[in-house]
Structure 1
Amino acid sequence: MSGPEGPQQRRSGLRDPQRAVRGLGAGTLALEALVLLLAIQPIRLVGGDLSAAAIGAVVALAVAAAMLAGLMGRPWAWNAGTVLQGLLLLSGLLHWSLLVLGVMFALVWAYAWHVRRVILG
């Protein structure tokens, strides 16, 4: 058995920290995809004029988030998720409510990055 500074010490106490972090990223992106798709109708009813371009952008971002959720094992997936958050923020130019969703999910994604850094070091 190694001491506290031994090479076998797990910083987080998780059996498989890589897998836990992948699950966190995938779950975050899957939730984002679901919320984006479910938000279309309420935005149309409450928020007013949601253009076809805005609906297309929401659907495309939701599909991209769902695909990225499945690809979280790839080394580039976290960076691609960050780009996705930026694109969602940019879609706020199409409708103000998309900017609100973009800010919310950018904050959630930033927290997921923080947790990833704490767990993996």
Structure 2
Amino acid sequence: MEYGPLGPGHDPVKDPLKSLRGVMAGTLIMEFITFLLVLPVVARVDEGAYNTPFNIVSVIVFCVALLVMSFLQGKSWALGVDLLLQAVAIVGFIVHPAMGVMGIVFALVWAYIVYLRKNLIERMKRGLLTTQHT
């Protein structure tokens, strides 16, 4: 493993992954709000053509799952469940095309979050974080 110019450094005083978990929780809250707004779309667009009990219950259950997961980001399995929820959001095309499109948008956001997490862990291992040398 190649270290940075100052060597491996020590463990950061503040855990940067904890901050990233905060970003992930905030993203889930934004997603929760966004997908709650799918309910009026399902109920009113196209004269209520998508307004079925299955669609309404599906959106509500999905939103509750997003909200619950926003509080569980400290768990080791949370990222896997978050990514699974993104796949479910994309399958939301079944409920309404708008839900599927928003699922794709948030899946791209989560792809970037996973990239940032990987980059952060790699930089920590190489001793490239500023807080590892203060």
Which string of whole-angstrom CA distances, capped at 9 and with x for unpartnered residues, describes residues 5-43 of structure 1? 133275xxx832021111011111111111111232144
2 CA distance for matches of 1:63 and 1:37? Answer: 10
Larger Rg: 2
8 Å contact from structure 2 (residues 42, 96) kept in 1:
no
Distance 2:26 2:121 in 1: 18
Q: Is 1:101 aligned to 2:102, yes or no?
A: yes
Alignment of 1:28-107 (within 5 A): 28-46=27-45, 48-50=48-50, 51-107=52-108
Give 2:8's aligned residue.
6
Aligned length: 116
Asked whether the equivalents of residues 85 and 106 of structure 1 are also in contact (C-alpha less than 8 Å), the reply is yes
User: Could you report, residue by residue, the CA deviation over 1:90-118 in whole angstroms, capped at 9, with x for unpaired residues?
Assistant: 12123211111111111111111111112
- The secondary structure found in structure 1 opposite 2:37 is helix
Q: Share of identical aligned residues, percent?
A: 29
Q: Which stretches in structure 2 are left out of the alignment for 5+ residues?
A: 123-134
Partners of 1:89 and 1:54 lie apart in 2 by 14
Contact 2:28 2:67 in 1 (8 A): yes
CA contact (8 A) 1:54 1:91 kept: no
- Contact 1:17 / 1:120 at 8 angstroms: preserved in 2? no
Q: Distance in 2 between matches of 1:62 and 1:38?
A: 10
Between 1:60-69 and 1:108-117, the stretch displaced more is: 108-117
Q: Which runs of 5+ in 1 are unaligned?
A: none
